């Protein structure tokens, strides 16, 4: 790849130290730089809780030191600056406009799913990366020369992007695919080792029990950490583009291979009757250390080969002579003025979004839980009843503690009928409607290993006797040979909420526009699941009792 004609390069150190460049900044350029630094601080404070709470994103804690190290390395490395022109101006302007549009989408997402939702964090990070790219092209102008355009400066953007959670739909699909992949290959490894094993979704049946490959063991954590480390190491250690590409390409397969070895070892230990609790975290930390150490060794090895073969520096091609050999003081050009205006507009937009979406504390009345208790019978003649006491582990995610689930079992073992009813309630203003809509069975059940049967998902009108219930969402989920029929409803102010695809940002934003931004509404989510179809359940007194209890409250409006 050759350097564009309007792209200048010079040897390291030709423009003096970084402090000299900073001293050339006038008030306008300094304002832009301070605003940009302030937005980065806001972003760190915004994502910080996620980095601490989510082990898959713990590498984000290294973002600031890694970014500062890359800036220093970019200044020491080959310095390339562009000379401007219409093409560069159009590219810079396009990135700035795209940053503003992405920020608007971030505001909608924050209104729909709260500011701390994965989609909001991801969109906000994309907006910041686009803004940083815009700033990078301004700083890389040969009349500004604050930051060269090289591999290290580009790596900063990639690390910012990798420090944010993926959109929920993408994260869910990636995690599920890795869970199923690792489970399948672990079972194959067990077969080769002579250990009897049977796979059911993401669960492995062993002679001495079961081993479940949960989300933490899917390999997502090691994958993200290794790719993050590979981008940093590839930028600061080797200099040739081929060596850098090799380090980054090797990262993902290396991470998956290490996680496979870890999962296989844990499963073999479980087959021998060992307690996995003490080994689980130890092997997890071990593969993270091994992954980083292996990539570091590869980067150093490739860098030594470069020096021994005297490879060309990072971008092949003969550099064009630099535009100047002295730091320019003409920093108040059209580029800096335009960027400053855009930067201030971006900062004001962020402040406006924070003010509009500022958190307000809403206490859900205790009566909500008592009300839920009245909606589900504690016992029914001929049915065994069990209440789930572990639901509250989902309270932080769902933003409510008003949860209730009861399972009713009837019949002999060969004709066992199981009915599970789940209720969740929210006080007005406790959670956005679209947040509740993003936690339907479509989003949650696949993460537990269930798959959706094709051709069954639909909206149906269920009948109980001569009564028709509010249209429900119908699904059939499969796990091995087991299957579950699922029906669910979502109500806001006792009116049914249109179904929104949980993994679709556009679907959820459309729901926000329909329901109103930050409009306080009482909400209730109802889910009925069973191993029997509705045609059989509709004849049971239990279902008639449920409809009788839910109907008068307007939860499941009925029409004769």
Query: Based on the domain organization, do 308 and 208 belong to the same domain?
Result: yes
Residues 383 and 348 in one domain: no
Residue 89 Cα distances to 84, 85, 97, 138, 341, angstroms: 6, 6, 12, 9, 15
Tokens (6 digits) for 347: 């900062």
Q: What is the pLDDT of residue 405?
A: 92
Would 157 be classed as within a structural domain? no
Residues 199, 139 share a domain: no
Phi, psi of 52 (to 5 degrees): -75, -40
Q: Which domain holds residue 213?
A: 169-313
Distance, in Å, from the CA atom of 294 to the CA atom of 226, rounded to the nearest integer, reads 10
Helix, coil or strand: residue 559 = strand
Residue 269 lies in a domain: yes
The span from the CA of 173 to the CA of 294, in Å, is 28
Per-residue pLDDT of the chain (560 residues; tens, 9 = 90+): 333 333 344 434 433 455 555 555 667 677 778 888 888 999 999 999 989 988 888 889 999 899 888 988 887 777 788 877 788 888 888 888 898 889 888 887 777 667 777 888 899 999 999 999 988 888 887 777 778 888 888 999 999 999 998 887 677 778 778 877 888 888 788 788 777 776 666 667 776 666 666 655 667 788 888 999 999 999 988 888 888 999 999 999 998 888 888 888 877 777 776 666 666 667 777 877 888 899 999 989 988 887 776 544 444 444 444 444 444 444 445 666 666 776 677 777 777 777 666 655 455 555 677 888 888 888 888 899 988 877 777 777 787 888 999 999 988 877 889 999 999 998 887 777 777 887 888 877 876 667 788 767 788 888 888 888 888 999 998 876 778 999 999 988 888 888 877 766 667 667 666 665 556 778 899 999 999 999 889 888 998 888 888 876 556 665 54
Q: Which pLDDT belongs to residue 25?
A: 61
Assess contact for 407 and 381: CB atoms under 8 A: no
Q: Do both 333 and 426 map to the same domain?
A: no
Same domain (yes/no): 443, 379: yes
Distance, CA of 373 to CA of 368 (rounded, Å): 9
Residue 320 in any domain: the answer is no
Q: Could you give the C-alpha distances from 18 to 72, 161, 261, 292, in angstroms and in order? A: 9, 26, 46, 30
- Return the closest-CA partner of residue 523 out of 425, 435, 395: 425
In terms of domains, do 291 and 393 share one?
A: no
C-beta of residue 38 within 8 angstroms of C-beta of residue 354:
no
Question: How many Cβ atoms sit within 10 Å of the Cβ of residue 423?
Answer: 21
For the chain, what is the domain count?
Answer: 3
- In a domain? residue 159: no
Are 23 and 115 contained in the same domain? Answer: yes
Q: Which two tokens stand for residue 108?
A: 């909608």
Q: What is the pLDDT of residue 86?
A: 81
pTM score over 0.75: no
Rounded to an integer, what distance in angstroms lies between the CA atom of residue 162 and that of residue 59?
A: 9
Q: Is residue 17 part of a domain?
A: yes
* pLDDT score at 454: 75
Q: Are 233 and 299 in contact (CB under 8 A)?
A: yes
- Same-domain check for residues 142 and 69: yes
Alpha helix segments (H runs only) across 217-330 = 220-236, 241-271, 277-309
Domain boundary among 313, 346, 376: 313
Residue 79 and residue 24 in one domain? yes
Q: Tell me: do 371 and 342 sit in the same domain.
A: no
Q: Which helix (H) or strand (E) holds 47?
A: helix 27-53
Domain membership of residue 371 (yes or no) is yes
- SS3 category, 430: coil
Q: What is the DSSP letter of 517?
A: T
Domain assignment present for residue 318? The answer is no
Q: Does 267 lie in the same domain as 408?
A: no
Which among 209, 233, 213, 232 is positioned nearest to 221, based on CA atoms? Answer: 213
Name 81's bridge partners. 8
> End of a domain among 280, 313, 346?
313
Instruction: State how far the Cα of 371 lies from the Cα of 437, in Å rounded to an integer.
Output: 22
Same domain, 389 and 533: yes
Residues in contact with 467: Cβ distance below 8 Å, sequence separation at least 6, in sequence order: 547, 558, 559, 560
Whole-number Å distance between alpha carbons of 182 and 261: 10
d(CA 206, CA 46): 44
- Residue 492 resides in a domain: yes
Q: Which residues contact 226 (CB under 8 A, 6 or more apart)?
A: 251, 252, 254, 255, 291, 292, 295
pLDDT, residue 311, reads 46
């Amino acid at each position: 790849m050759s350097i564009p004609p309007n792209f200048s390069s010079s040897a390291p150190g030709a423009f003096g130290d970084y402090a000299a460049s900073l001293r050339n900044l006038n008030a306008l350029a300094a304002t832009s730089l301070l605003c940009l630094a302030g937005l980065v601080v806001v972003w760190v404070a915004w994502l910080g809780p996620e980095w601490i709470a989510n082990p898959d994103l713990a590498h984000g804690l290294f973002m600031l030191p890694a970014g500062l190290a890359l800036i220093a390395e970019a200044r020491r490395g080959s310095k390339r600056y562009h000379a401007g022109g219409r093409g560069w101006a159009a590219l810079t302007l396009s990135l700035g406009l795209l940053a503003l549009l992405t920020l608007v989408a971030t505001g909608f997402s924050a209104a729909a799913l709260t500011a701390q939702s994965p989609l909001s964090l991801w969109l906000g990070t994309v907006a910041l990366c686009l803004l940083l790219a815009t700033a990078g092209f301004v700083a890389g102008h040969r009349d500004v020369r604050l930051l060269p355009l090289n591999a290290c400066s580009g790596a900063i953007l990639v690390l910012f992007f990798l420090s944010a959670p993926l959109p929920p739909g993408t994260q869910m699909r990636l995690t599920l695919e890795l869970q199923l992949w690792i489970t399948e290959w672990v079972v194959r490894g067990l077969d080769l080792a002579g250990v009897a094993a049977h796979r059911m979704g993401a669960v492995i049946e062993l002679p001495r029990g079961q081993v479940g490959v949960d989300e933490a063991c899917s390999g997502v954590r090691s994958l993200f950490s290794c790719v993050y480390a590979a981008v940093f190491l590839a930028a600061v250690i080797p200099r040739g583009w081929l060596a850098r590409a090799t380090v980054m390409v090797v990262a993902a397969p290396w991470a998956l291979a290490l996680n496979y070895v870890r999962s296989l070892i844990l499963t073999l230990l479980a087959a021998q009757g060992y307690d996995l609790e003490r080994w689980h975290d130890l092997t997890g930390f071990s593969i993270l250390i091994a992954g980083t150490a292996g990539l570091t060794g590869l980067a150093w090895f490739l860098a030594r080969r470069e020096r021994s073969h005297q490879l060309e520096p990072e971008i092949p091609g003969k550099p064009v002579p630099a535009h100047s050999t002295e730091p320019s003081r003409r920093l108040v050009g059209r580029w800096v003025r335009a960027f400053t205006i855009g930067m201030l507009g971006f900062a004001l937009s962020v402040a406006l979004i924070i003010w509009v979406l500022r958190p307000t504390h809403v206490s859900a009345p205790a009566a909500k839980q008592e009300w839920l208790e009245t909606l589900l019978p504690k016992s029914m003649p001929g049915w065994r009843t069990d209440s789930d006491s572990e639901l509250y582990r989902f309270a932080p995610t769902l933003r409510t503690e008003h949860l209730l689930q009861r399972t009713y079992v009837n019949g002999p073992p060969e004709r066992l009928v199981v009915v599970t009813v789940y209720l969740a309630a929210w006080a007005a203003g406790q959670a956005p409607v679209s947040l509740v809509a993003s936690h339907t069975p479509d989003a949650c059940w696949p993460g537990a290993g269930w798959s959706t049967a094709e051709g069954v998902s639909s909206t149906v009108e269920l009948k109980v006797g001569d009564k028709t219930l509010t249209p429900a969402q119908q699904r059939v989920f499969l796990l091995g040979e087991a299957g579950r029929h699922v029906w669910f409803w979502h109500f806001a102010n006792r009116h049914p909420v249109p179904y929104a695809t949980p993994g679709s940002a556009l679907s959820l934003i459309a729901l926000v526009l329909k329901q109103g931004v930050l409009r306080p509404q009482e909400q209730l989510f109802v889910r009925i699941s069973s191993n029997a179809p509705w045609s059989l359940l509709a004849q049971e007194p239990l279902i008639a009792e449920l409809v009788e209890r839910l109907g008068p409250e307007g939860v499941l409006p009925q029409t004769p």
